[in-house]
Amino acid sequence: MESIKSEQHLDELLPWFANRTLGDVERREVEAHLATCERCRGELAWLESLQRDVAEHEFAQAPGEFGLNRLLQNVRQRPRFAARHRWLAPALAASLAVVVLQGVVLVQLWTRPETIAPLGRKTLDADVLQIRFNPRATEADIRDALQAVGASLIDGPGALGIYRVQLESGVSGKPMEASLAIETLKARQGVVVQIVSESKRATAVGE
């Protein structure tokens, strides 16, 4: 019984002995068995001819450059940005919602002249920072920097290249402290050239 099971096991390994992918232990087992089994040597010869036939007939001419052009068109039509940065899509959606909300607030402010604030004063309760970015910084660098402190762009660039960003509520439910956000962004060497809290500037202007 044991020898029948053993022979069945070795018979099952023959195709992979023929294509030379067996590990050392199994290969040696099969080699040892082939030395004593004429039936298996015949089976191996048949499998090797099968392999030659498959190699000859299974090759198919692939689409080539036409297929590649089609692929690259598809790739460019559907940017992979959202797939790489899955976490960014909800964050961007939240940022967009804030921008829309600000737009609503600003429209309301326009219709109530008594509430219009002078330039340089923030109109919302959240901390606003004014940032000048390195001209060589990439969009990805700027995006990463803002995401690191939970900030979103609300205005800019102005004539001096200054952007205004607002600190948003994060996972904790509270926005990052402005002073911490400033230190974090200052550490992004090569991205942030100048940064200041608009609250302090407003205070300075108001004094």
Partner 1 sequence: MAKILTLPKRTQDASELLAAIAGGSETSLAEFYRLYQTRIYSFIVRRVHNGADAADVLNAVMMEVWRHASAFQGRSQVLTWVLGIAHHKIIDCLRRRSPHVALEDGVEESMEDERAGAPEMMAQRQDAALMHLCIEKLSDSQRAVVHLAFFQELSYSEIAAILDCPEGTVKTRMFHAKQKLKDCLVRAGAG
Does residue 39 interact with partner 1 by CB under 8 A?
no
Phi-psi region of 64 (alpha: psi -120 to 50; beta: other; left: phi over 0): left
Does residue 183 interact with partner 1 by CB under 8 A?
no
Does residue 21 interact with partner 1 by CB under 8 A?
yes
Residue type, position 115, single letter: T
CA 174, 178, 181, 182: dihedral to nearest 10 degrees? 180
CA 65, 68, 74, 78: dihedral to nearest 10 degrees? -140
Select 11 or 155, whichever has its Cβ closest to partner 1.
Answer: 11
The residue assigned the tokens 């690259």 is 72
Does residue 42 interact with partner 1 by CB under 8 A?
no
Of the candidate spans 42-50, 156-164, 181-189, 199-207, the one that interacts with partner 1 by CB under 8 A turns out to be 42-50
Contacting partner 1 within 58-117 (CB under 8 A)? 58-64, 67-68, 70-72, 74-75, 80, 83-84
Count Cβ neighbours within 10 Å for each residue of 63-99 and write b for 16 or more, e otherwise. Answer: eeeeeeeeeeeeeeeeeeeeeeeeeeeebbeebeebe
Q: How far apart are CA 43 and CA 7, in angstroms?
A: 13
Of the candidate spans 11-19, 111-119, 124-132, 160-168, the one that interacts with partner 1 by CB under 8 A turns out to be 11-19
Does residue 6 interact with partner 1 by CB under 8 A?
no
Select 37 or 94, whichever has its Cβ closest to partner 1.
Answer: 37
Q: How far is the CB of 56 from partner 1 (least distance, A)?
A: 6
Q: How far is the CB of 129 from partner 1 (least distance, A)?
A: 29
